[in-house]
Amino acid sequence: MVYFITIFNFILMANSMVIFDFHKDSNLSEWQTVNDDVMGGISDSKIYLNEVGNAIFEGNVSLENNGGFAMVMYSFEQMNVRNYSKVVIRLKGDGKRYQFRIKTNSSDYYSYITYFDTTGDWQTIEINLEDMHPSFRGRKLDKPNYPKIKAEQIAFLISNKKEENFKLELDKIELQ
């Protein structure tokens, strides 16, 4: 029986791919914040590791000067995602709504997006890849949903059309 459980756990692990597992020695140099200041806004954000090794994405969203968003993105070597159906994220939010984004190529002008709500407690968020729709500057594009072939960038964005402070704690992001 123990042998069967071990094999079953191995098969489950083989069917997942870690995109990023945060810990005290994590290198965040490939994570970048992009705020509405690229369009004249004054929102600000940062990403850093806390004392237990989780990533903290926090800041302030301002609506001044036509602003209203803060984002953190991670670009990586292109990976094949054909064998995966969802992204699983272990996180602790602040009760606010966030957007998860994925790009097939980091140079694409649009992202495939979906929204998730946080509760203030630790959560495991599961996002079905096939449900992610293409969007550019807040507008849904007339294109098919995410094709689940390859990925080169992920991002978290907050843009709730109001001024607010935010804090999102990230533990692990993987494909399953």
- Render pLDDT for 82-120 as a digit per residue (tens, 0 to 9): 999 999 999 999 999 999 999 999 999 999 999 999 999
pLDDT of residue 35: 96
For 37, the 3-state DSSP assignment is helix
- Classify residue 69 by its DSSP letter: -
What is the distance between the alpha carbons of residues 172 and 20, in angstroms, rounded to a whole number? 6
End-to-end CA distance of the chain: 25
Contact call for residues 65 and 110 (beta carbons, < 8 A) = no
Domains of the chain are 2-175 (2.60.120.430)
Close Cβ partners of 65 (under 8 Å, ≥ 6 residues apart): 36, 40, 41, 42
pLDDT of 15 strictly over 90 = no
